[in-house]
């Protein structure tokens, strides 16, 4: 796969039209780009004004087996009447090929933004996450990765070290504080908790609200602790997060057990996401879409802010983990 293909340079409107036509769908509208950068995702309408979303997967990121495993998990959830956005099966297939690219088609899903401060919506999300994890517990992904320190800390550090993104005058303090954060996370990390199939990127932006929650974008599905799909839903001050977590877990446990020992992983997981996100942007910076979408990433003020964020996260790791009422 060439560098140009990796960066989607061949993905012109004509190319996409022919790719979709190759599976029997004729696009009649233009292609509306949706907010996706790791892959390329577009909404369009066909001859009968049926709206679709097409996702072109970034070459060399996931193998075909890994993508099909994600699709299979999504279809398991659909069979259990769990509201997720599944890939459409066309001629018995959910994953399609066209001139070196892998792509999938989805029905276009509408909905309102999930409100993280709405108790009723938090309860609904908690119930369905319990149901998702009940199915996720049945077996692990064989091909998709695990949430671990190598993928989320050690490899990202190497990527950041070899990148030219960090201003020279900040390099020493940046890597000194990053290494302190890594040490703090290592101290609090545990591999003893049960690992299961997860949504993997369950933040509010990946939940739509219709008559209930609709979970979208399982592209980061992987094995890991259940708390990974819960902690990104929490926001505000500590007492706000405790209240939100209490609501989510009470609903969650109607369908699946939760190990309270996982609560101590919330701040380590936050630290992992912080480091992994920076390395993801650095790794993708040569893709022209990234400088356009994230111009602040190349600004010295951003990196100064990250040095401060490292210190704040180290302090958060030194505090007592969130705990709930005695029944947990």
Domain limits, the chain? 3-109, 119-318
pLDDT, averaged in runs of 10, over the chain (328 residues) = 64 95 94 90 94 95 97 98 96 95 94 92 98 98 97 97 95 98 96 94 95 95 98 94 96 97 97 98 93 95 97 96 68
Rg (CA), the chain: 21
Q: What is the CATH number of domain 119-318?
A: 1.10.510.10
Query: For the segment 271-287, what is each residue's pLDDT rounded down to a tens digit?
Result: 999 999 999 999 999 99
Q: Tokens 């390395």 sit at which residue? A: 279
Asked whether the domain spanning 119-318 has the same topology as the one spanning 3-109, the reply is no
Q: Tokens 């380590």 sit at which residue? A: 268
φ/ψ of 46, rounded to 5, equals -95, -170
The whole-number pLDDT of residue 2 equals: 52
| Active-site residue identified among 177, 201, 219, 229 | 201
For 137, counting Cβ atoms within 10 Å of its Cβ (0-12 exposed, 13-18 middle, 19+ buried), the class is middle
Strand ranges of the sheet holding 207-209, from the earlier edge strand across to the other edge:
112-113, 207-209, 213-215
Helix/strand/coil for 104? strand
Q: Residue 122 in contact with residue 172, Cβ under 8 Å?
A: no
What is the distance of C-alpha 62 from the center of its chain? Answer: 14
Is 240 one of the catalytic residues?
A: no
Query: For the segment 108-139, what is each residue's pLDDT rounded down to a tens digit?
Result: 988 899 998 899 999 999 999 999 999 999 99
The whole-number pLDDT of residue 327 equals: 45
| Active-site residue identified among 9, 177, 179, 217 | 217
Is 217 one of the catalytic residues?
A: yes
Cα torsion at 204, 283, 312, 125 (round to 10°)? 10
Helix/strand/coil for 251? helix
Q: Is 3-109 assigned to CATH 3.30.200.70? A: yes
Distance between CA atoms of residues 54 and 107, nearest Å: 9
């Amino acid at each position: 796969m060439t560098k140009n293909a990796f960066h989607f340079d061949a993905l012109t409107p004509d190319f996409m039209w022919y790719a979709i036509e190759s599976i029997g769908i004729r696009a009649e509208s233009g292609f509306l780009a949706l907010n996706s950068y790791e892959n390329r995702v577009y909404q369009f309408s066909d001859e009968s004004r049926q709206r679709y979303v097409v996702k072109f997967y970034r070459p060399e990121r996931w193998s075909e087996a890994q993508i099909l495993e994600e699709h299979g998990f999504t279809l398991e959830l659909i069979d259990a009447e769990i509201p997720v956005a599944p890939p459409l099966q066309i001629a018995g297939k959910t994953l399609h090929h066209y001139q070196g690219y892998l792509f999938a088609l989805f029905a276009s899903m509408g909905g309102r933004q999930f409100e993280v401060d709405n108790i009723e919506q938090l309860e609904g999300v908690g119930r369905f996450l319990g149901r998702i994890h009940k199915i996720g517990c049945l077996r692990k992904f064989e091909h998709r990765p695990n949430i671990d320190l190598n993928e989320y800390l050690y490899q990202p550090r190497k990527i950041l070290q070899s990148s030219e993104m960090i201003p020279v005058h900040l390099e020493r303090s940046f890597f000194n504080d990053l290494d302190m954060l890594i040490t703090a996370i290592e101290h609090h990390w545990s591999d003893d908790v049960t690992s299961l199939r997860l949504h993997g990127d369950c933040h509010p932006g990946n939940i739509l609200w219709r008559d209930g929650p609709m979970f979208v974008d399982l592209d980061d599905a992987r094995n890991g602790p259940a708390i990974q799909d819960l902690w990104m839903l929490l926001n505000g001050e500590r007492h706000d997060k405790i209240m939100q977590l209490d609501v989510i877990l009470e609903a969650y446990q109607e369908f699946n057990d939760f190990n309270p020992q996982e609560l101590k992983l919330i701040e380590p997981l936050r630290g992992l996401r912080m480091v992994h996100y920076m390395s993801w942007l650095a790794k993708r910076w040569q893709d022209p879409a990234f400088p356009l979408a994230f111009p602040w990433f190349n600004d010295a003020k951003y990196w100064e802010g990250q040095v401060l964020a490292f210190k704040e996260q180290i302090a958060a790791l030194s505090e007592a983990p969130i705990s709930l009422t005695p029944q947990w």
